[in-house]
Chain A
Amino acid sequence: LSRQNSGVAGPWESDLTAVQHSLKFVKKLEEHYVCPTCKGVVLNPHQTGCGHIFCYRCIQGLLENSPATTPACPLDRGLIKSDEVFQDNCCKREISNLEVYCTNSPNCSHRMTLCRLQEHLQACPFESLQCSNAGCSEVMQRKDLQEHLRINCSYRMEPCHYCKHP
């Protein structure tokens, strides 16, 4: 797409696509951090020649959907030329420092910068998980997993009543 390796997203944003539209920012998200195409916060921001900022995924979609013609920017109808598009790492840094509430709020009261959200969700007690036992498809919050594994799971291993082996 551009002269830089645009496809590479920072590790903190690579998994945010799933929660992109449910992110809750502490301060109202400034207009220019909102992607004109998907209306979520821009992930892996790329700037066009007309000075608008899109997710990499969205600008790539625009360029691929009209391979024969030059796509127009939805905001100002300016032509989006792929050689003018660049990875806006300044915008990326600004966004990574925006404060968000945990996506499991109000259950979880944590707030952190956007680049720390993934790390938090890996440990958040209120994050939904599927039981790790083979055959069990039950989904619960992380804080309830231990008890489920120990007591409630129909697929848990139990010591055999006869030989005491699991």
Chain B
Amino acid sequence: STPTSLQGGTPLQGYDVEFDPPLESKYECPICLMALRAAVQTPCGHRFCRSCIEKSIRDTGQRCPVDNEVLREDQLFPDNFAKREILSLMVRCTNVGCTDKMELRRLDGHVTKCEFATVPCLLCQDA
């Protein structure tokens, strides 16, 4: 499996990583079903990844996908509380053979120097 970057890749859905203990549902995005990335909150009290809800408003209209309440893009507040909580949750490195466990905020740094990372073979260029 490939390491999930905290920054890279578009569109930016939630964090698809292995939480240990498992992720609580209150920190799960109802759209992508992953851990909230750049969490925002709606006036109706629902949390989404910023890019997931912005895409939903653009594609399916100005409604909250959970309870169908009217929702405009300018009503989304950055939920910095949820963001901080999620970044401090414990996750496992997904590289085969690696047993390291760390806060989500440290995963990117770990993956760049993980001993078990798959590197392309210098001879055949295969991963």
Contact = CB atoms under 8 A, between A and B. Distances in A.
Interface in A60-108: 84, 86-94
Nearest to A5: B43
Contacts of B75: 3-4
Interface in A17-33: 32
B41 A86 contact: yes
Q: How large is the interface on B (under 10, 10 to 19, 20 to 34, 35 or more residues)?
A: 10 to 19
B84 A93 contact: no
Q: How large is the interface on A (under 10, 10 to 19, 20 to 34, 35 or more residues)?
A: 20 to 34
B78 to A, nearest CB: 8
A46 to B, nearest CB: 10
A50 B80 contact: yes
A127 B85 CA distance: 39
Interface string B40-82: 0111111100000000000000000000000000010111111
B77 A86 contact: yes
Contacts of A32: 81, 85
Interface string A25-54: 000000010000000000000011111110
B45 A90 contact: yes
B24 to A, nearest CB: 11
A89 B83 contact: no
B47 A47 contact: no
A133 B106 CA distance: 67
Contact of A90 (B41, B78, B83, B84): B41
Contacts of A92: 45
Nearest to A78: B80
Interface of A: 3-4, 32, 47-53, 84, 86-94
Interface of B: 26, 41-47, 75, 77-85
27 contacts: A4-B43, A4-B75, A32-B81, A32-B85, A47-B77, A47-B79, A47-B80, A48-B80, A49-B80, A50-B80, A51-B79, A51-B81, A51-B82, A51-B83, A86-B41, A86-B77, A87-B43, A88-B79, A89-B42, A89-B44, A89-B45, A90-B45, A90-B46, A90-B47, A90-B79, A91-B81, A93-B45
